[in-house]
Amino acid sequence: MNAARSVAPGARVSTSGIRPKRAERAWQVFAVVSVAGLSWWYFSAHQQPSANGYHRLVLGLGWIGTSLALAAAALSIRKRLAYQGVGRMSAWLRAHIYLGIIAAFAIFYHSGFRAGGPLLAWLLVFFSLTVVSGLMGWWLARNLPPLLTDIEETPALLEDLLAARAQCLQGMFELASGGSADFRALVEQHLMKETASWGRMFRFYRRRSMLAQELPGFQKEQAVALARLRPQEHRGFQRAAEYALRVNKMNAELLLQRVLRGWLTFHIVSTGTMFGLAAVHIFTALYY
């Protein structure tokens, strides 16, 4: 498959992840202009303070921020209407990201970067968590897939990886149970540790290497353990070592995939809490 690398002299593999498309550029321009407008409004109102102007600013920014945050949150409705022909998910996600960024500026300006009472302090904390987790998700989505691509043998989803890993572990146990007591002890005590070795896992990330590149070195490292076995068990041990390395590599992939999915839970929980607190805040502001 890597024959394609000879396409042009000096060709390099893209590590840029998601490249901005035209639609993304339009959103970027819109976001920059909107944030610039909001900033100008905020800072000009602070330079020429008047009670009326300041009140209008705070109220206006509050309503703008809330509306934009609700519009951004409409992505969750799109997920529930996945098959109703309501537009491309990627377009909705772009809207979600850029409306969310504009909403963040509007709401931080609305707060005046002051916490106020406990309710407002918590609201600000959860709002900040929502923004940070969102930006983190955005960063992860751009940067983890290229790393995953570099280390995975075949593109697989989390569920497929879990099933494959279970098969490898099963293979290891079967090999161990079919051997002598020494062999079993060596597989269970020595190789099982390797399946969960963080150091080895990070080596996959660092070197961006495939299984075939790591295997010879790994088997060499096992030479000392191998010497403790009878010659007829060497082949079985080497197979078990291959399983162990494979499991470790799958763990490396699984960790990335879990991170790619896991941040969303954090984002959803903080967003939900933030909206709950915001509802209380709006109610109290309107009522009192």
Partner 1 sequence: MNEQEVTPEILGVLRSMDLFKGKDPDELTEWLGKAPFEGGAECVLRQYASGDRITTEGSFGNTFFVLTHGTVSVTLGPEAQRLATLGQGSFFGEMTLISGLPRNATVAALEPCQVIEIPRRAFEPWMKKPGPFRNTMDQTYIERGLGNHLRTIPDFADLDTGIVRELVKQVRLRIFSKDEVIVREGDDADSFYLIREGYVRVVKAMTGGEQRTVAYLKDGSYFGETALLSAKRRNATIIAMGKVEVIQVMKEDFFALVNRDRKFADHMAQEEQRRLAEKSSGQASPLGFIGEALERGLVKATSALVIHRDMCTRCGNCVKACAELHDGISRLTRHGMLFEAPVPQTLTILEPLLVTTSCMHCLDPECMIGCPTGAITRDVNGEVIIQESCIGCGNCARRCPYGNISMADVRSQEELAKQRTGAPIIGGYLKFWKTPENEPMMHEIETNNQKAVVRRVAVKCDLCQDYNYNHGCVHNCPYGAIERMDAGAYLHEVRGVG
Instruction: Name every residue whose Cβ is closer than 8 Å to that of residue 61 and which is 6 or more positions away in sequence.
Output: 38, 41, 42, 106, 107, 109, 110
Closer CB to partner 1, 153 or 182, in the complex: 153
Closest CA to 129 of 265, 31, 283: 265
Measured distance CA(258)–CA(221) in Å, rounded:
30
Residue 196 interacting with partner 1 (CB under 8 A)? no
Closer CB to partner 1, 4 or 181, in the complex: 4
Residue 260 interacting with partner 1 (CB under 8 A)? yes
Residue 213 interacting with partner 1 (CB under 8 A)? no
| The one among 154, 223, 287, 288 contacting partner 1 by CB under 8 A | 154
Closer CB to partner 1, 159 or 223, in the complex: 159
Cα angle 68, 69, 70 (rounded to 5 degrees) comes to 90
| The one among 49, 85, 118, 216 contacting partner 1 by CB under 8 A | 85
Residue 47 interacting with partner 1 (CB under 8 A)? no
Is the CB of residue 267 less than 8 Å from the CB of residue 137?
Answer: yes
Is the CB of residue 226 less than 8 Å from the CB of residue 191?
Answer: no
| The one among 47, 48, 80, 157 contacting partner 1 by CB under 8 A | 157
Measured distance CA(119)–CA(127) in Å, rounded:
12
| The one among 35, 125, 156, 226 contacting partner 1 by CB under 8 A | 156
Residue 80 interacting with partner 1 (CB under 8 A)? no
Helix (H) or strand (E) holding 153: none
CA distances from 232 to 147, 180, 181, 186, 244 (A): 39, 11, 14, 15, 20
Closer CB to partner 1, 66 or 257, in the complex: 257
Residue 212 interacting with partner 1 (CB under 8 A)? no
Residue list 89-148, contact with partner 1 (CB under 8 A): 89-90, 92-93, 140-141, 144-146, 148
Residue 36 DSSP SS3: helix
Residue 227 interacting with partner 1 (CB under 8 A)? no
The residues binding partner 1 (CB under 8 A) are 1-8, 10-19, 21, 82-83, 85, 88-90, 92-93, 140-141, 144-146, 148-149, 154-160, 257, 260-261
